[in-house]
Structure 1
Amino acid sequence: MAVDITQFRLNNIIDTCSIWNLLSSKVLYRATGLARCSFCCTKFVIYECLNKPRKSSSPEEDELIERLKIEKNKGMFKEYHLSIEDLQDVDILEKRKNLSKGELSSIAFARRISQAFLTDDQGARMLASQFMDQDMVQTIPQLFGWLMYESYLNDSDKDEVINEHESFKRPLKKYFNEIYLKALEMRLLKRE
């Protein structure tokens, strides 16, 4: 899927993996506030993040959980219930391909209310793209690139975002580096 970092929808239905990837960097998350991005999710996603039993947890996971709780107490990451009709969206359920309930509920909810779906799971992206316009399916690296392109983040922020992200053992370093170069290229083209 081609990614257009010159555009980003500000209101997003976010899934579990993207919450963790977003909150793994305070610099990145702060920039989303400056850009007036908003993130909401389904009750299933909050369950996966905060309540789902884990075999074991790491200090990194515990810190991300704490960050999410703090942000929820500030009124961020508002959560929504789904209707029975949303949950019975047969088209989505028939093609689910090992996705979690959080991802499936997020796709169904984003589709129903015509909002962008923010995910870093490739399977969820592919499935969502079958039911929504491709530009309504977004990723954290795309968000990072857009924040760079629009100068909510600057060049000196790149390494800090990546270092913070890696300190939580999150997997997006390669994509951040690739999209950073794309953002530089697009900024140069914008000036011409």
Structure 2
Amino acid sequence: MSIDPSQFKELNVTDTCVIWNVLSSRLLYMAANAAGCSFCCTNFVHYECLHKPRKTYTSEDVELQNRLKEAIQDGKFRSYHLDLEDLQEVDILQKRKNLGKGELASIAFAKKTNQAFLTDDVKARKLAEEVMTRQFVQTTPHLVGWLFFVSFLGDGDLKSIVDEHQKHNRPLAQYFKEMYNKALDYRSKLNLY
């Protein structure tokens, strides 16, 4: 999938991994909010993030859960109920490709509400691209690239975002750097014309 960092849908339904990836850097999350991005999830994803029992908890997990609770309390991250009929959407269930309930519920809700589906799961992204308009399927690195493109993040912010993301044991640092470079490339090409 070729990502255009000059375009990004601000209204996003997220899955669990995206919540952790976006909240892994306070600077990234603050810049996204300042740029007008809105994040929500289904009640099932909310359950996965904050209430589903885990075998182990790391200090990083606890910190990210606290950040999510703070975002919910501030009214900046909402969760929504999904009707049973939404989950039974034949298109999604026939093509589910062993996806978890969180991803399926997120795709169904994003499609129903005409919002973008923000995911960092490759299988979920592929399924969403089959059942939704491709431009409505986005990733956290895409968000990072767009924030640099529209100057809500500056050149000096990349290191801080990557360092904090890695500190929380999140896996996307390489893709953040790639999207930063792609955003700079797009911006320089626009300035040439």
1-structure distance, mates of 2:177, 2:10: 22
- After superposition, give the CA deviation of every residue in 1:97-122 in whole Å (9 maximum; x if it has no partner): 22111110000011111110000000
In structure 1, list runs of 5 or more residues that go unmatched.
none
What is the TM-score of this pair, normalised by structure 2?
0.98
2-structure distance, mates of 1:113, 1:5: 23
In structure 2, list runs of 5 or more residues that go unmatched.
none
Runs of 4+ in 1 over 2 A off after TM superposition: none
- After superposition, give the CA deviation of every residue in 1:71-118 in whole Å (9 maximum; x if it has no partner): 101112111101111011122112112211111000001111111000
Instruction: Give the equivalent residue in structure 1 for 2:96.
Output: 96
2-structure distance, mates of 1:77, 1:46: 10
SS in 2 for 1:155: coil
| CA displacement at 1:136 relative to structure 2 | 0.2
Q: Which amino acid aligns with 1:122?
A: V
| CA displacement at 1:18 relative to structure 2 | 0.2
1-structure distance, mates of 2:95, 2:18: 21
Q: Which amino acid aligns with 2:62?
A: D
Q: Which amino acid aligns with 2:6?
A: T
Instruction: Give the equivalent residue in structure 2 for 1:33.
Output: 33
Instruction: Give the equivalent residue in structure 1 for 2:172.
Output: 172
SS in 1 for 2:169: coil
2-structure distance, mates of 1:190, 1:105: 38
What is the TM-score of this pair, normalised by structure 1?
0.98
Q: Percent identity?
A: 54
Instruction: Give the equivalent residue in structure 1 for 2:128.
Output: 128
1-structure distance, mates of 2:80, 2:34: 24
1-structure distance, mates of 2:15, 2:76: 14
Q: Which amino acid aligns with 1:169?
A: N
| CA displacement at 1:177 relative to structure 2 | 1.1
| CA displacement at 1:19 relative to structure 2 | 0.3
2-structure distance, mates of 1:34, 1:111: 25
Q: CA RMSD in A?
A: 0.7
2-structure distance, mates of 1:175, 1:129: 20
Q: Which amino acid aligns with 2:64?
A: L
